[in-house]
Amino acid sequence: MRWTVGEGAGVTWNGITLKYGTSELKVEVPSAKLLGVLVPSEPELPPSETDEIERALDNPTGTPRLEEMVEPWMKVVIMASDITRPSPTSKLLPPLLRRLEKAGVKDSQITVVFGMGIHRAHTEEEKKILVGEDVFARIKCVDSIEGDFVYIGTTSRGTPVEVARPVAECDFLIATGNVEYHYFAGYSGGAKAVIPGACSRRTVEANHSMQLMPGAEAGSYDQNPVRQDIEEAARMVGLDFILNVVLDPSKRTVRAVAGDPLSAHAEARKVTDLVYGVEIPRRADIAIASAGGRPKDLNFYQAQKALENAAYAVREGGVVILVAECPEGLGEPTFEKYMTGMEPDEIVESIRRKFVLGGHKAAAVARILRQKDVYLVSSMDGETVRKCKMKPFPELCEALDAAFSALGPDATVWVMPYAGSTVPRLRGS
């Protein structure tokens, strides 16, 4: 993001440049109306990413060291993120494998399972890219959706837990990944590698059906029904150890944590809050939010996360201006069916009655549309945007002018250049 400051007609303006696809858009906001620019913090990075991972493994939270927990006879599964996630899997696996080798576990006893959830299968080349050539040559690497699923039991919230067979049948289960905010599970990482990562569609749908319950929002943990269901399911499966990292917006490791799935993840959540949580004194009338450019704004299905976060910074009746190119349109057929075929109230009630993946993201958007107006600055067809009950704008300056016209010349503004990863929190809430 870049700033320029100029004056005209007695008004000082802040020129703000935001990412849009592979390019940038500039908008000028009157200084007197700008409450501020909400960005992630810039934490001090460890001198070496590799050393930071080793430090975490040498000093695990809530458990002995990994090499002291496993036995030579054990079949070990290491859960890894799929190709859509930013987790640095190729850097996390080698130190884990060295410690397993130190404990007497042979390569033939280890399987890397990619947590696919409901995503498409990997190509063999993608698997190699994720783990690195050396690990791919040594260790069996499979997608969680390659075989069948084993029923483990049902959580207290009614979720049937069905996990990939290698996960169900292993003697020691390790989860890797990165921790960041998740718009209804609270946070990623930790046990989320197991559910939804290693689970069947039936399990994923049952867990995600709680997304409309109170507490199911970014940054919520103790009172989040989705996250607590995830933790319970992971206990049933038998998750033994985690290795997670918190990344900065440039995907560099800020902190690594290892050890007990609950207590180590709690340490990562604290760091996530420090990096990506932003306290605000009040909500604005308008938020200008960029999804962050390509690939985060490839389609509206991906950009929805930025809209969700930006909505926290806007009062009821206000306007969210979402800057997201969306060259692939809405991005997912079921999502498109719900967004273009129903009113917001209908979408929410439909998903309450029967959870449908794809429709669940439409319900998240619909909840916002019931309280706030959304102006979409994108390359999408205007008629499609209007069918989604949003207002299309080809230019950012036009969207801002329209927002001021609707809300008055004294309307206040927050700007969020990285809305996909920044979560505003009202002071004292």
Instruction: Say what the pLDDT of residue 116 is.
Output: 84
Instruction: Say what the pLDDT of residue 180 is.
Output: 92
**Of the listed ranges 84-88, 340-344, 348-352, the one predicted with least confidence:** 84-88
CATH number at residue 209: 3.40.50.11440
Residues 271-330 have pLDDT tens digits of 999 999 999 999 999 999 999 898 889 999 989 999 999 999 999 999 999 999 999 999
Query: Considering 275, 298, 325, which residue would you say is the last residue of a domain?
Result: 275
Same-domain check for residues 372 and 420: yes
Look-up: residue for tokens 């008055």?
A: 408
* Averaged pLDDT for residues 100-112: 98
Instruction: Say what the pLDDT of residue 7 is.
Output: 37
**Of the listed ranges 78-87, 132-141, 211-220, the one predicted with least confidence:** 78-87
Q: How far is it, in rounded angstroms, from Cα 187 to Cα 50?
A: 24
Whether residue 399 is contained in a domain is answered as yes
Q: What is the band of 8 on the pLDDT scale with cuts at 50, 70, 90? A: very low
Whether residue 359 is contained in a domain is answered as yes
Same-domain check for residues 169 and 218: yes
Tokens coding 16: 């703000």
Q: How far is it, in rounded angstroms, from Cα 140 to Cα 166?
A: 11
Same-domain check for residues 20 and 57: no
Question: 334 or 7: whose pLDDT is higher?
Answer: 334
Q: How far is it, in rounded angstroms, from Cα 47 to Cα 40?
A: 20
Decide if pLDDT at 6 tops 80.
no
Same-domain check for residues 22 and 107: no
CATH number at residue 383: 3.90.226.30
Same-domain check for residues 225 and 315: no
Q: How far is it, in rounded angstroms, from Cα 429 to Cα 425?
A: 7
Same-domain check for residues 312 and 351: yes
* Averaged pLDDT for residues 170-196: 96
Same-domain check for residues 164 and 263: yes
Decide if pLDDT at 428 tops 90.
no
Same-domain check for residues 210 and 341: no
Q: Are residues 285 and 318 in contact, defined by beta-carbon separation less than 8 angstroms?
A: yes
Question: 3 or 209: whose pLDDT is higher?
Answer: 209
Q: How far is it, in rounded angstroms, from Cα 221 to Cα 212?
A: 15
Tokens coding 421: 């990863």
Q: How many CB atoms lie within 10 A of CB 231?
A: 21
Q: Which are the contacts of 391, defined by CB distance < 8 A and separation ≥ 6?
A: 373, 374, 375, 376, 385, 399, 402
Q: Are residues 299 and 84 in contact, defined by beta-carbon separation less than 8 angstroms?
A: no
Cis amide linkage into residue 196, ω under 30° from 0: yes
* Averaged pLDDT for residues 74-96: 93
* Averaged pLDDT for residues 16-43: 90
Q: Are residues 35 and 285 in contact, defined by beta-carbon separation less than 8 angstroms?
A: no
Residues 239-254 have pLDDT tens digits of 999 999 999 988 899 9
Instruction: Say what the pLDDT of residue 121 is.
Output: 84
Whether residue 264 is contained in a domain is answered as yes
Whether residue 37 is contained in a domain is answered as no
pTM for the whole structure: 0.88
Q: What is the band of 11 on the pLDDT scale with cuts at 50, 70, 90? A: very low
Considering its fold, how many domains does the chain have in total? 2
Whether residue 409 is contained in a domain is answered as yes
Query: Considering 275, 303, 333, which residue would you say is the last residue of a domain?
Result: 275
Same-domain check for residues 322 and 369: yes
Decide if pLDDT at 85 tops 90.
no
Q: Are residues 166 and 113 in contact, defined by beta-carbon separation less than 8 angstroms?
A: yes
Q: What is the 3-state secondary structure (H, E, C) of the chain?
A: CCEEEEEECCEEEEEEEEEECCEEEEEEEECCCEEEECCCCCCCCCCCHHHHHHHHHHCCECCCCHHHHCCCCCCEEEEEECCCCCCCHHHHHHHHHHHHHHCCCCHHHEEEEEECCCCCCCCHHHHHHHHCHHHHHHCEEEECCCCCEEEEEECCCCCEEEEEHHHHHCCEEEEEEECCEECCCEECCHHHHCCCCCECHHHHHHHHHHHHCCCCCCCCCCCCHHHHHHHHHHHHHCCCEEEEEEECCCCCEEEEEEECCCHHHHHHHHHHHHHHEEEECCCEEEEEEECCCCCCCCCHHHHHHHHHHHHCCEEEEEEEEEECCCCCCCCCHHHHHHHHHCCHHHHHHHHHHCCCCCHHHHHHHHHHHCCCEEEEECCCCHHHHHHCCCEEECCHHHHHHHHHHHHCCCCCEEEECCCCCCEEEECCC
Same-domain check for residues 146 and 160: yes
Query: Considering 275, 299, 324, which residue would you say is the last residue of a domain?
Result: 275
Decide if pLDDT at 3 tops 60.
no
Question: 120 or 203: whose pLDDT is higher?
Answer: 203
Q: Which are the contacts of 201, defined by CB distance < 8 A and separation ≥ 6?
A: 118, 357
Residues 187-233 have pLDDT tens digits of 999 999 999 999 999 999 999 999 999 999 999 999 999 999 999 99
**Of the listed ranges 10-14, 32-36, 96-100, 121-125, the one predicted with least confidence:** 10-14
Angle between helices 359-369 and 344-353 (to 10 degrees): 140
Look-up: residue for tokens 């009062």?
A: 315
* Averaged pLDDT for residues 378-399: 97
Average pLDDT, the chain: 93
Pairing of strands 3-8, 11-20: antiparallel
Residues 46-65 have pLDDT tens digits of 999 999 999 999 999 999 99
Same-domain check for residues 302 and 270: no
Same-domain check for residues 221 and 302: no
